[in-house]
Chains A and B, each alone.
Chain A
Amino acid sequence: SQTIHQWPATLVQPVGSPLSLECTVEGTSNPNLYWYRQAAGRGLQLLFYSVGIGQISSEVPQNLSASRPQDRQFILSSKKLLLSDSGFYLCAWQRDRGPTNTEAFFGQGTRLTVV
């Protein structure tokens, strides 16, 4: 069966410090991978998605970047954190497919507080 791992679970970082959040998927190959952010107030916003190694699409301009160095690894980064980067970050995966769509599954999330 497939599983998704995301770490760390919580993180407190000072303004201006770098960030690296990691997400890995097991039990599948060539998944579509996603980073979402949930700010206070509930809504989830898609930040980045990737359909393959080295292929990153950004949904919103921001202080963050994403990379996919391996098939089942997705990394969210920042060189210098801002207060506004605080939030709950969720990684998700979907099985790669053509015209048939499948469920998305989410990791446990990382709660980031920038102080």
Chain B
Amino acid sequence: GIQVEQSPPDLILQEGANSTLRCNFSDSVNNLQWFHQNPWGQLINLFYIPSGTKQNGRLSATTVATERYSLLYISSSQTTDSGVYFCAVELVGGGSNYKLTFGKGTLLTVNP
């Protein structure tokens, strides 16, 4: 099946710093999403971005589908940004259609 690798696995920042999270995937995808898992466990949708670039406030994401990677940028980080960030992809066609495969996540800790 498709492989999804996220890096770094853990990241510690001081408030106000910028960061880049990476997601590599091993095959062509129909769907790529970034999620933030809050301290209560809920998965918050950040971006639906199978290709291109999107921005939402201090967060932005870029997916280069032809090179099979996506980047999540967090600028001017805040303590509320802490948590686990997941990348999830949906394979093009075949038996894996209709399901998201998740990476193992990046645990971000933002210190005041």
Contacts and interface: CB of A to CB of B under 8 A. Distances in A.
Which of A34, A42, A109, A111 has the most C-beta atoms of chain B within 10 angstroms of its own C-beta? Answer: A42
B102 A44 contact: yes
B17 interface: no
B1 to A, nearest CB: 10
Interface string A77-94: 000000000001010101
Nearest to A106: B43
Could you say which interface size class chain B belongs to? 20 to 34
A105 to B, nearest CB: 6
B99 A59 contact: yes
A46 B100 contact: yes
Contacts of A44: 86, 88, 102
Interface of B: 30-31, 33, 35, 40-43, 45, 48, 50, 84, 86, 88, 90, 98-102, 104-105, 107
29 contacts: A32-B98, A34-B100, A38-B41, A42-B84, A42-B105, A42-B107, A43-B102, A43-B104, A43-B105, A44-B88, A44-B102, A46-B99, A46-B100, A46-B101, A49-B98, A49-B99, A88-B41, A90-B43, A94-B98, A101-B30, A101-B31, A101-B90, A102-B31, A104-B31, A104-B33, A104-B88, A105-B45, A108-B42, A109-B41
